[in-house]
Structure 1
Amino acid sequence: METWVDVPEGSGFGVENLPYGVFSRRGELPRVGVAIGDHVLDLAELAAAGLLADRRWFAAGTLNSFMSAGRPVWQATRDRLITLLTDSGHRGSVEPHLVPLREIELHLPFDVADYVDFYSSRDHAVNVGQIFRPGAESLPPNWLHLPIGYHGRSGTVVPSGTPIVRPCGQRRTDDGPVFGPSVKLDVEAEVGFVVGVPSALGRPVPTAGFRDHVFGFVLVNDWSARDIQAWEYQPLGPFLGKSFATSISPWVVPLAALESARTTPPAQAPEPLPYLRCDEPWGLDLTLRIELNGHVVSRPPFATMYWTAPQQLAHATVNGAALRTGDLMASGTVSGPDRNQRGSLIELTWDGRDPLVLPDGQRRGYLEDGDTVRIQATAAGPGGAPIGFGEVAGTVMPVLC
């Protein structure tokens, strides 16, 4: 598709994408827009001008109302936006509502109702199992039968750019447990999806219902304090080692933009139970990039994820748990089989024993104060046009405890 908007080559924000976000200009209230090239199209103004159907979905500081409207509304809105941005006859009426990205501030795109983080990369699970449980089986006995997950803190999900204060907690030493700042602060490069349409309590959502409930995908950095995590996680799993902050990207890439990126996921053996089986392939061919202080340290491939997003959604609701608009479900760390495809520092440095040496000579086992992490991702769109996710970034700040 050709658009009359000037879209820089390779920007990832072409008309094939049109990701949604919440933005504001100085002195103005936040509202909903879509990214196109180096601009954001103000949907609130577009609707006020009568160019876009609206039930006050867009003159809001969150995407939740629009996300809850459902798939027919999402598709009709997307079709209308594509028409407005590809038909030059609309240029005169639409162009005044384009705002340069350099003039705006981006906000948390939706109110997070609940947050679940999965553990869906086999490569990551094997690596972490070998580090945390040397000499034992790398995979827990249930790992090949269900997508393992844990509940996080929705109140500590923050938008990209939010400073990350080094957390404090208990950690184990040779002399017993001590309290203090984490000395093994880590990143987890992940991809998450957000629920738009809720479900009724007591009614599981099958894998085939994924499109009817899920609005789109975001990038996630599930910051992790590995020393706190290692001491507390048995037998109930992660708690303070992860609940201090989870960053997400400001742009939500709609499901419709990712159809061309769908691919066959890895074969699953043994075959999952019936409620986890999918009638169509739901792997996503995305390439992530992790930068530490401006240096690329890893390129994890999302296509290698063992458990897919529809399986995660089905498992999260199979006991009758209800979905709510704004539920965020993250993939877990994305890692591939090669060392330069690992999505966390615990894997890249093997728990600090083999530190990264950055091009400027700095060495890192784990994050130090002042370090900045940026995670980006790209998928192939129709005709090979890139579908960009923007980035999720954060800088580590000194401890406060």
Structure 2
Amino acid sequence: MSEASTTEPTADDLFGPDNLPYGVYTTPDAPERPRIGVRLGDRVLDAGAAIRLLNLLEAPEAALLTAPSLDPLLAAGRPAWSRVRAALRTAVTDPDRTARIEEAGLLHPLTGVTMHLPFTVADYVDFYSSEHHASNVGRLFRPDGDPLTPNWKHLPIGYHGRAGTVVVSGTPVVRPSGQRRPPGAEEPLFGPSGRLDIEAEVGFVVGVPSRLGETVPMSGFRDHVFGLCLLNDWSARDVQAWEYVPLGPFLGKSFATSVAAWITPLEALEEARTAPPERTHPLLPYLDDTAGDASSPGDGPGYGYDLRITVRLNGETIAEPPFSAMYWTAAQQLAHLTVNGASLRTGDLYASGTVSGPEPHQLGCLLELTRNGRDPIGGGFGKRTFLEDGDEVTLTAWAPGPGGARIGLGEVTGRIEPAR
């Protein structure tokens, strides 16, 4: 794992030609016309117009970039993803072509555009794949028992969420109301959640669908998954605690899930591949990734991603969770998601679960950071156990790139509004 630079990276450092994440934006003069863009530094390139101007793709693939969302590009498959990405890299690295793009006015300041949810979310599944997070939670709620449930080391635990409440970064998060039973009370109460939390996660975006009844092996991960993004799975802990027995999360999770406006293609993260933690229990064949080689250029499934996440509350850093510590990988999650024959659809989104590391400053939610509200955290924002109205949470991240460069992930921000 490379060491972080002592110099704060700029937008040009994080979003250079080796990155080129995809998003959907509108401009003030054409708010009714969403366009696909790629981020270059602190600007947005009109991807479709640039490719047409420079004639860098055949018509069918050029058309993928003129759609109002990423949906057609997601469905086009890995060979098309590679050709489109190669054409865009050519457009932004060749000086003559870049000059033509500038002259045509196809680069917009990021601050002058409105970003939108970049794809249609078909289904949403959230996993629970950090051993550190699961162990911390287990110790909080089962202090006299095993922190991990008996199944945890044998399969990636997950739940099916609500696709319709996945929102793009910057969308306000309204404090949810629901039933909760305060400690010592015999009957539940109804009202706004008093224990609103964050969960720093990474989401994976499915491009190519699969057939109902067929499984997707770990080796199919890169053929089906287009890219990834940062994700905040907002959680009402008091609502969740009362409702989750015996079927799991429901209203405590389904009110909002925030995703970045930018989807980073997997091809941009080749240098960020890393070996997952050592497997401590034998895995069934469909999940066994112990034969994989994280340093291999091939498509073996035995790797995770080295993503360095930062969580800020009202502008102050409160945690730095390392994604490389996740026990279950995205390839294993995809294999488990489909092992019963459940089909994938273009636009399916599945999330890693809360990312936490072994150190106190690496915990990805307030539940862990405050020990379930027992030990408040403090800063210029005052004291916090859980989120207050007006609080703003921002997730950022970067990954190692070619030649010591950094690949930035688009941020996820949400501000808490009072219950309605």
Output the CA distance in 2 between the equivalents of 1:362 and 1:120.
31
Equivalent residue number for residue 42 of structure 1: 46
Correspondence for 2:240: 229
Hey, what's the Cα distance between the residues in 1 that align with 2:363 and 2:170? 23
* Structure 1 CA distance for aligned equivalents of residues 44 and 378 of structure 2: 38
Question: Structure 1 residue 220 and structure 2 residue 240: aligned?
Answer: no
Question: Is contact 1:355-1:365 (8 Å) kept?
Answer: yes
1:74 aligned residue: 81
Query: Considering only aligned residues, what root-mean-square deviation do their CA atoms show, in Å?
Result: 1.4
In the alignment, does 2:109 pair up with 1:100?
Answer: yes
Secondary structure of the 1:227 match is helix
CA shift at 1:52, angstroms? 3.7
Q: Distance in 2 between matches of 1:187 and 1:384?
A: 31
Which of 347, 357, 361 aligns to 2:378? It is 357
Match of 2:212 in 1: 201
Q: Give the residue type in structure 2 aligned to 1:374.
A: T
8 A contact 1:10–1:386 mirrored in 2? no
Q: 1: CA distance between counterparts of 2:35 and 2:228?
A: 19
Contact 1:218/1:253 (8 A) holds in 2: yes
1:22 to 21, 24, 29: 24
Paired with 2:406 and 2:164, the residues of 1 have a C-alpha distance of 32
Aligned: 1:331 with 2:333: no
Question: For residues 1-400 of structure 1, what are the structure 2 equivalents within 5 Å?
Answer: 8=10, 11-28=13-30, 29-49=33-53, 51-53=55-57, 54-55=59-60, 56-95=63-102, 96=104, 97-173=106-182, 174-175=184-185, 176-278=187-289, 279=292, 280=300, 281-358=302-379, 360=380, 362-400=382-420
Distance in 2 (CA, whole Å) between partners of 1:181 and 1:42 is 42
CA offset at residue 229 of structure 1? Answer: 0.6
What code does the residue aligned with 1:41 have? L
Q: Which residue of 1 aligns with 2:297?
A: none
Give the deviation of 1:9 after TM superposition.
6.5
Superposed displacement of residue 8, structure 1? 4.8
Contact 1:132 / 1:230 at 8 angstroms: preserved in 2?
Answer: no
Gaps of 5+ in 1: 1-6
Deviation at 1:10, TM superposition (A): 5.7
Q: 1:373 to 1:8 in 2, by over 3 A?
A: closer
Larger mean CA deviation between 94-103 and 19-28 belongs to: 94-103
How far 1:47 sits from its partner (Å)? 3.6
> Could you tell me which amino acid in structure 2 is paired with residue 296 of structure 1?
T
TM-score, with structure 2 as normaliser: 0.91
CA distance in 1, matches of 2:381, 2:193: 24
Counterpart secondary structure, 2:37: strand
Q: Secondary structure at the match of 2:188?
A: strand
**Preserved contact between residue 12 and residue 40 of structure 2 (Cα < 8 Å):** no
Q: CA deviation at 1:241?
A: 0.5
| Superposed CA offset, 1:83-115 (max 9, x none) | 121121312322232112121111101110000
Q: What's 2:4 paired with?
A: none
- The Cα of 1:361 is off from its aligned counterpart by 6.1
| Secondary structure at the counterpart of residue 376 of structure 1 | strand
Is the CA contact (8 Å cut-off) linking 2:156 and 2:328 kept in structure 1?
yes
Instruction: Answer with 387-396 or 276-285: which moved more.
Output: 276-285
Deviations 1:63-85 (A, max 9, x none): 01111001011101111111121
Give the conservation status (yes or no) of the 8 Å contact 1:16–1:257.
yes
Alpha-carbon separation, structure 2, partners of 1:235 and 1:268? 29
Say whether the 8 Å CA contact 1:207–1:276 is kept in structure 2: yes
Length-normalised TM-score, structure 1: 0.95
Residues 267-301 of structure 1: CA distance to partner in whole angstroms, max 9, x if unpaired? 11212110012334321111100000111000000
**Secondary structure of the structure 2 residue equivalent to 1:49:** helix
Return the letter of the residue paired with 2:71.
Answer: N
- Whichever residue aligns with residue 26 of structure 2, its letter is S
